[in-house]
A and B are shown apart, each in its own frame.
Chain A
Amino acid sequence: MSTVDMGMPILIVDDYKTMLRIIRNLLKQLGFNNVDEATDGSAALQKLRDKDYHLVISDWNMEPMSGMQLLTEVRADTKLKELPFIMITAESKTENVIAAKEAGVSNYIVKPFNAATLKTKLSAVLGNF
């Protein structure tokens, strides 16, 4: 039986509206319907401080604040530091993954990705659902 709250608030962050729509639709198909959006790290950080999210799914390459900067801010914030944080990005060099891991990312998905990969990574972070 799933222990995951499918109504948990999730924040998705990407500067490409198309990608936000893809992630939102895939999350919806997986059963997650409580999804908010932000288009860069600074807007996301504000939302995270205003509302109690249970998961962040963020792109890396955004301006003015990147996903990596957002992750660093989140991990440095006493209230947010335990927040599950998944990076979905086209940055696919080993050094990127290592840097994100060292910064405290919960999991890392390389674009292009599919629904099965997203489900696997969500299960790894949140538990099976």
Chain B
Amino acid sequence: MAVAAVKEKIAAQLKVLQKADGSVDPEELVAIVESIVDSVQGDLSADGLKVYADIEALALYINTARAEIADLRPDDINDEHIPAATDELTAIVGSTEQATNTIFEAVESIEGLTDKMPPEVAEQISLAVTSIFEACGFQDITGQRITKVVTALQKVEEKVDALLHAFGDDIKRSERPKEPEKKTTTPSGAPARPDEDLLNGPQMPEAAISQDDIDALFG
């Protein structure tokens, strides 16, 4: 059937539906769709059918890939992993800066005492102090390197965000409950680290409790 004829047939059948009182009988609608499909299939060549089958396979492949990506929970990357990594890296910079300043305070105090030392001792102390100052440059270098890593993480975050956007909102976490992470086990099936749930590493300053808080827990 020619394209124009198919269009004419669809228009006529839809017109029949429009004449109804606003409600649509599903069976009537299915019948119309089937008749259209039959009309089109009748016109498809062998090549056309092959293309149609390929497109169908491609659609199935995309849906499968989409489901697998959703199972990987890519939204966790942006919601949890990257922010956590960024916070940890920022905390590293803060800690090293604090430690470096403490070293400076101590070394400057030592240097201030060289006037009271015998000249030969003062000279040796001064050389050692210079070496410490030079070595403290690590804080600046590591800080810049970590900043580069944070920038790279932000780029990854943007890419993941674009991926999530491309696949639609329905692959996001809210659609499915989060599965618990698999724990490492020994060959007998016992937990390799029974205290795994407690291994959280150093806490961010705002999340950590103080020694005073700990002492208070011991009464």
Contacts and interface: CB of A to CB of B under 8 A. Distances in A.
Given A18-B100, A18-B101, A25-B108, A111 B130 contact: no
B134 A111 contact: no
Interface stretch (B51-59, B68-76, B138-146, B164-172): B138-146
The dominant DSSP class at the B interface is helix
A90 B133 contact: no
Q: What band does the interface of chain B fall in when counting residues whose beta carbon is under 8 Å from A? A: 10 to 19
B133 A22 contact: yes
A15 B148 CA distance: 15
A113 B134 CA distance: 7
Q: How large is the interface on A (under 10, 10 to 19, 20 to 34, 35 or more residues)?
A: 10 to 19
Interface string B104-146: 1000100100000000000000100110011011111101100
B157 interface: no
Contacts of B139: 16, 18-19
Contacts of A25: 104, 108, 111, 133
Highest count of chain A CB atoms <10 Å: which of B108, B137, B138, B143: B137
A21 interface: yes
A16 B140 contact: yes
Contacts of B108: 25
A114 B134 contact: yes
Contacts of A21: 101, 104, 136
Contacts of B111: 25
B136 A22 contact: yes
Nearest 7 Cβ contacts at the A-B interface = A112-B137, A19-B140, A18-B139, A16-B140, A114-B134, A25-B133, A115-B130
Given A16-B140, A18-B140, 11 more contacts: A18-B97, A19-B137, A21-B104, A21-B136, A22-B137, A26-B130, A112-B134, A112-B138, A113-B134, A113-B137, A114-B134
Interface of B: 97, 100-101, 104, 108, 111, 126, 129-130, 133-134, 136-141, 143-144
10 contacts: A17-B97, A18-B97, A18-B136, A18-B139, A25-B111, A25-B133, A90-B140, A90-B141, A90-B144, A114-B134
Interface of A: 14, 16-19, 21-22, 25-26, 29, 61, 90, 111-115
